[in-house]
Amino acid sequence: MPVKVELLRLGGTSAPANWKEKKSFRTAVYISASRWDQTVEDSSQLLSRQSELCRAFLREHREFKKVETYADRNSSRETNREWNRLLDDVECRKVDAVLVTSIAQIEASCGMACYHVGRFFYPAGIRFVAVEDGFDSYQDDLELYLKRYANRYASFLGAQRHERRFNRNKVTSVSVPYGYIYVAGGTPEIVIDEETAPFVKELFALALQHTTVTEMARHMTEIGAPTPAARRRALYGQKVSGSEYWKSSVVKTILKNPCYTGDYVTGRTKERFLDGVNHFENVPCEDWLVIKNHHEPLIDRETYEKSISIMDSRRFENHRDKASAQNPFRNMFVCGHCGSVMTCNRAGSKSGRAYARIRCDAIRFNKESRCEAYDVRMDETITKLRGELAAEICKANEAASLFPQMVGSAWYQETLSQLKARNSTAAAKILDRSLTKRERDDLYKELLRQKEKLQNFETAFSLDNPWVSLFTGIGDAATIEFDRQQVRAIFQKIEIYRNGEIKVHFVHEEWRAYIDVYLAKVGEKGGVDKWVDETEQ
């Protein structure tokens, strides 16, 4: 019988375990006259709308018993006296739940709001409900919710920044492209850079003659044109990284820049905060901020548009790229001796029939490499690969059938209760407002670590185990048709040796390791014997 593990939410572990039986929650309702994710025009309307939404929610959900309403009626963001009072009451455990319309109305910024909800309410087991956002920490994923709001906040700030700069007609040196010079002063200006402007014109002329960007890059290096990075260093003394050689990507960036037609354009990319890292994503051209005819053009509009359409039409014409893009195992084969990625190409055999081969070419590109060039046949390798895959599928299926036995074992139960105990100890420490932000952050990190350990442990011995669910779902290894997506989903890398041996690294190896640990601990007894023997071979 499959064992389904309940996903760990706030209600599951770190919150009081009795949440499920809990009949009523003492609830604090918080409303405020400001929001950090939008410009508020009518604060009294905002307040009445909030209290209306909260009242409606309380009417429908009888388990929430309102204790008090906290209202910050001043729209200036600095005053949040009521919010602080609410925090005090939470610390003294006068309430078990906090009800708001949106997390965006808490505190003055996204960071602080997320901090209070994520690092204070959540670990301390305070139920947090945001009516308008449709969020309830009892059943929804808190991290996802906070991340989504962090994204929204970042793009809101970014858009505001852009607009402010744009409204003041302000041009920054960063956004002035190659071929122009930024002149600082009362009203910053963009003027033509006589030294590099001819190169820009030449690039566009070449583009109209259907020259490829690779050739253009080579040409620019040959005639000694300074690269954009080099020119920027020379002009503004900025520390700009970038090569002295032209790259095709640099050429592409120039050919695609609408600034050369005399328009000032910003907001072509948007910053987004994803998984703790800043990303830039492209904004569709109808949302760009444009000042038409802002400076002297280098290129007329017709030329610009023509070169764009030529570039777009050529994108998939490069045959070699196409062929290598079609090989589903591209970049997947790695030389077992020197670790470099092996190339796949066609070769003729002695009998005259062409066959695909996988080749270690390291010596050609890197003279230091001590790896002798060699190649193995693709078809033979794929056959071996199928064999390895079949074995893995077999193991995963057996693991799935053994789950009830594993979960029932004393070792599993003991480990689980240890992990649970550590998790709740970590959670208990957090509800103390005298903690500094730093201390709470450390505690929170510790809690997350414990939570993840527990979660992973439970997942590993269930059908949610990614390794098990992947390999039990693949089907027959002998007939599977590999496409690129599938290859990426199944294999991490495939090491190849001179004698034709292969060593396959499957994805989710870390999830398989849990089961290996179990087998090492308790595998001697009972029905798991067989499998242990197999894995040890």
Residues at the interface with Zn ion (CB under 5 A)? 335, 337-338, 360, 362, 371
Hey, what are 334's tokens?
């790695």
Complex with Zn ion: residue 177 or 336, whichever CB lies closer: 336
Say if CB 165 and CB 266 are below 8 A apart: yes
Complex with Zn ion: residue 371 or 487, whichever CB lies closer: 371
Sign of the dihedral through C-alpha 368, 370, 372, 377: negative
Minimum distance from CB of 364 to Zn ion (Å)?
A: 11
CA dihedral 452, 458, 464, 466 (to 10 degrees): 60
Minimum distance from CB of 378 to Zn ion (Å)?
A: 17
Bridge partners, 78 (sequence order): none
Complex with Zn ion: residue 150 or 360, whichever CB lies closer: 360
Q: How far apart are CA 382 and CA 327, in angstroms?
A: 13
Q: How far apart are CA 388 and CA 393, in angstroms?
A: 9
- Which stretches within 409-436 are classed as H helix? 410-428
Minimum distance from CB of 502 to Zn ion (Å)?
A: 14
Is residue 152 helix, strand or coil? Answer: helix
Minimum distance from CB of 503 to Zn ion (Å)?
A: 14
Minimum distance from CB of 361 to Zn ion (Å)?
A: 8
Complex with Zn ion: residue 95 or 360, whichever CB lies closer: 360
Residues 6 or more apart from 171 whose CB is under 8 A from it?
Answer: 182, 188, 189, 190, 264, 294
90: closest CA among 111, 67, 106? 67
Q: How far from each other are the two terminal CA atoms of the chain, in whole angstroms?
A: 29
Minimum distance from CB of 496 to Zn ion (Å)?
A: 9
Complex with Zn ion: residue 341 or 504, whichever CB lies closer: 341
Minimum distance from CB of 463 to Zn ion (Å)?
A: 40
Complex with Zn ion: residue 114 or 342, whichever CB lies closer: 342
Complex with Zn ion: residue 189 or 495, whichever CB lies closer: 495
With tokens 């490499």, the residue in question is 369
Say if CB 91 and CB 431 are below 8 A apart: yes
Q: How far apart are CA 536 and CA 171, in angstroms?
A: 66
